[in-house]
Structure 1
Amino acid sequence: MRDTERSPVSQLSDDLLVEIISRVPYKSTRCCKCVSARWRDLVSHPDHRKKLSLSTLAGIFYQTFRGERFPAMLCGYQSVSGNWCTSMDCSLSFLPKCKRVNMYLLDSCNGLLLCLCWNQPSDVNGFGYVVCNPVTEKWVALPATTSSSKGHAGKKKLGVYSSKTGVWTHGVVWDNPLSVSRFPRSIFFNRMLHFSSDNNLVVAIDVEGNHRVIRGPMPDSARGVPNVYLSRGQLHLANGSVSELSIWALEDFSSENWTLKHSVSHLQLLGTEYSMFAGNYRVISIHPEHNVIFIVCEQLYMLSGPSLTKLMSYEMDSRELRFICDLEWGCRTPYLPYVPLLSEPLADGQ
């Protein structure tokens, strides 16, 4: 489309034009800025950012240990989309050294990273949180919560932090007999935080304290806790059984009906070349726009040299496994998919 004086597109109102642009993928949205000055201003306007498509998956952040005598906990990063987002400080060097060196990655959401930081290993009162944007190099320090973050059967508390008041509140307390890991991977979708627990359940909680428990598609006898992801506007579960990997999608959120999107045996997934990883691989992400999953294969002990961790992608439509790279020595979970946020500032403007 060309937005010129003679083009019918020029007769569209700003609201209608933004609605049309919001329905195209992120890369196409970036191209729309080159059509004309009007289109550029519409795409760049702060009031329109939340309506337009978020950027595509750029890479994976992960935890790593570096150094020999006194290894520091740092973050590593690997691109999975051809380095299209180059204006990003993957090492988070814009953070103060005390926070950057003693830091544990917790989660990523909407272009922001959540990290747990401490000043000294022995300083139990020195814990706090940092929310940062690697693209804009903005960051906000959050105080630690007053209650323990450990998950266990019994009462559960959800802490909600307000950037306006600068304090934590407990948005919800409930007594469901759920077992939740200490740092569960979560998805913020439809204004609710979703995470998986044992007993084949997915928990959804909003900031007002309302919560909902969704029964998963796996049998109660299934082992482990399936991971929850967001792809193509739908919640997905990835579950690895003894013999195969299955991907499920919650197509109807109201009825809680899960649809089996894909299943593949471990041998078919990895082939003969990587069959040694059949018992040591995990799904770390599902692409937000395509039928592609990302997995890491871990060989914990080798006869010579350091342990290996391989990052791979698997195309569900073609059933093709693609090797991406060997990750650096010392890398470990969590592996966090990262979708850049190019311009949204943080609340306090740091």
Structure 2
Amino acid sequence: MAPGSKKKGKCVEGSPVDKLTDDILTDIISRVPYKSTCCCKCVATRWRDLFSHRDHRKKLPQSLAGFFYEGYNRDRFPKIARYFTNVSGEGEPLVDPSLSFLPGYISLDILDCCNGLLLCRRWDFTNPQLMDYVVCNPATEKWVVVPATDWSSKVEVARLGFEPAVSSHFHVFEFIDQQAWCIDESEFHGCVGRIEAVATYSSNTGVWRHQMVEHNDFAIPTHSKGVFFNSIMHLAAFDDMVVTFDVQGNLLWTIGTPPSPPNCDDSPLNDVFVSQGQLYFANSSGSESGRYNLSVWVLDEDYGLSKWSLKHTVSHWELFGTNYLALDYNVIAFHPECNMIFIVYGHENTLMSYEMDCRKRHFLRQLGRDCKSEYSSTDVKTPFIPYVPLFTESLADGP
């Protein structure tokens, strides 16, 4: 090293890389694979700052910013309040949870988030019986209206599909059960809440289409995560399966979920997540010895094999310091860039992260006791919706 030279992260002042302008360096970083792009944040302070700078963040992928969630308190007005908590658990919310840039609604529900876009259900201000969907980008405050179908007001599960690296267009999925399909209760068959049809909307065509689901008997839990990648929608379903659909609403595969230990008490803590380009499944179960564990599985790339590999197991004692029952906590997200999961647990709805590689837990903040559903007689936790900002200006809403 020449006398007087100084290190700057992994760059040396006066080196060819150090002499690049911010615009050129940003353009170079934006062209490397996503995982490598994330590593660039650790090279130097200058490189890290590029990701958050207003002039450059449109070109660079952003990390997990935090979570949207709701609280219900019958003694408060309004009874339902919407919140956003940063992923660090500290500081002022990075996003305004009111979404005040959306006009003309009497109430608004956030149903899903996919790669920076939110899917919301909006009830009309002039006629509370009417509703439509809104797809919006909180980072740019751009939004488009998606018209309702004949079933929208009765549908409990609607999800959003969007892959900006593939297309600027998005897809909305409605999963229509027997009741929403207006089948008489005396003619119900199969499991409770059986899905009869799937309606899909494409912002490319601007129209809805629906596809009947035949020769399959499954229901989708109201709070099941919608995981959209490789242009396929994945959802955990009853009983013991993951169902997958293409953007036309066709059922592609039903994937059996990972096996549970024999003679154990299965819990409803079963859901799918995506991280680092792979599909994960998290479940909680008890063992014959009475010990409760959280298990994380990863799916083989060949869906037809339905082969899950156990990636990680951690006891409830390691996570919480007690033999927590499965119903007392929810895995709400996997970090998109690393082997970290986020959990909400306990009466105070404590948000925590857990790093699988080093088996370390971090308590982030208490979100409060009112994080529960308005429509549940029990303390069922509200959905916690992870949000990664998207700073591109375009929001395709038509051909």
Shared fold (TM-score greater than 0.5)?
yes
Cα 1:244–1:116 change in 2 (3 A) is: same
Per-residue CA distance 1:265-285 (angstroms, 9 max, x = gap): 21222115xx67775111111
| Separation of aligned partners in 1, 2:63 and 2:91 | 10
CA distance in structure 1 between the aligned counterparts of 2:360 and 2:29, rounded to whole angstroms: 38
Partner residue of 2:394? 345
Counterpart CA distance in 2 for 1:80 and 1:159 is 33
The question of 1:238 aligning with 2:279 is answered no
Does residue 109 (structure 1) correspond to residue 85 (structure 2)? The answer is: no
Question: Quick one: distance in 2 between partners of 1:268 and 1:159?
Answer: 43
Question: Which of 128, 133, 137 does residue 129 from structure 1 map onto?
Answer: 133
CA distance in 2, matches of 1:200, 1:138: 38
2:353 corresponds to: 313
Change (3 A) 1:164 1:276: closer
Query: What residue is the counterpart of 1:185 in the other structure?
Result: 225
Instruction: Tell which deviates more after alignment, 176-185 or 104-113.
Output: 176-185
CA RMSD of aligned residues (A): 3.9
Equivalent of residue 310 in structure 2, options 255, 260, 280: 260
Q: Distance in 1 between matches of 2:358 and 2:126?
A: 47
Query: CA–CA distance in 2 between the matches of 1:6 and 1:285?
Result: 40
Q: Which AA in structure 2 matches 1:252? A: E
Decide which of 341, 346, 369 is 1:298's aligned counterpart: 346
User: Counterpart of 1:161 in 2: which secondary structure?
Assistant: strand
Is structure 2 residue 37 aligned with structure 1 residue 25? yes
Superimposed CA distance per residue, residues 273-309 of structure 1 (whole angstroms, 9 cap, x where no aligned partner): xx6777511111111112111111131xxxxxxxx22
Corresponding position: 1:149 with 2:155: yes
Structure 1 equivalent of residue 144 of structure 2: 140
Instruction: Tell me the SS of whatever aligns to 2:268.
Output: coil
- Displacement of 1:60: 1.0
Deviation of residue 324 (structure 1)?
0.6
Judged with a 3 Å threshold, the aligned counterparts in structure 2 of structure 1 residues 162 and 244 are, in CA distance, closer, same or farther, namely: same
1:241-280 residue CA offsets vs partner (Å, 9 max, x unmatched): 13211111114334332111111221222115xx677751
Shift, 1:72, TM fit: 4.4
Which of 30, 51, 58 lines up with 2:65 in the alignment?
A: 58
Residues 84/289 of structure 1: CA separation in 2 closer, same or farther (3 Å cut): farther
The answer to whether the 8 A contact 1:238-1:248 is kept is yes
Q: Paired residue for 2:172?
A: none
1:337 and 1:65, CA in 2 relative to 1: closer, same or farther beyond 3 A? same
Determine which of 80, 99, 118 is the counterpart of 1:92. Answer: 99
> What percentage of aligned pairs have identical amino acids?
39
Aligned length: 324
Deviation at 1:81, TM superposition (A): 4.0
1:41-80 per-position Cα deviation (integer Å, ceiling 9, x unaligned): xx9699xx6xx6x321110111224784542434211111
**Superposition TM-score, scaled by structure 2 size:** 0.68
Instruction: Give the distance between the partners of 1:295 and 1:92, measured in 2 at CA.
Output: 25
SS of 2:210's equivalent?
strand
> Structure 1 regions of 5+ residues with no counterpart?
36-42, 300-307
- In the alignment, what sits opposite 2:160? none
Could you say which residue in structure 2 is the equivalent of 1:247?
296
Tell me, in whole angstroms, the C-alpha distance in 1 between the residues paired with 2:77 and 2:40.
46
- Whole-angstrom distance in 1 between the partners of 2:57 and 2:351: 37
Partner of 1:336: 385
SS of match in other structure, 1:267: helix
SS in 1 for 2:319: helix
Asked if the contact 2:88–2:364 (Cα under 8 Å) also holds between the matched residues in 1, the reply is no
Please state how far the C-alpha of 1:326 moved relative to its aligned partner: 1.0
The answer to whether the 8 Å contact 2:84/2:95 transfers is: no
- Please report how far the alpha carbon of residue 235 of structure 1 lies from its aligned counterpart in structure 2 after TM superposition: 0.5
Deviation of residue 98 (structure 1)?
2.3
AA aligned to 1:138 is K
Asked if 1 retains the 8 angstrom alpha-carbon contact of 2:334 and 2:342, the reply is: yes
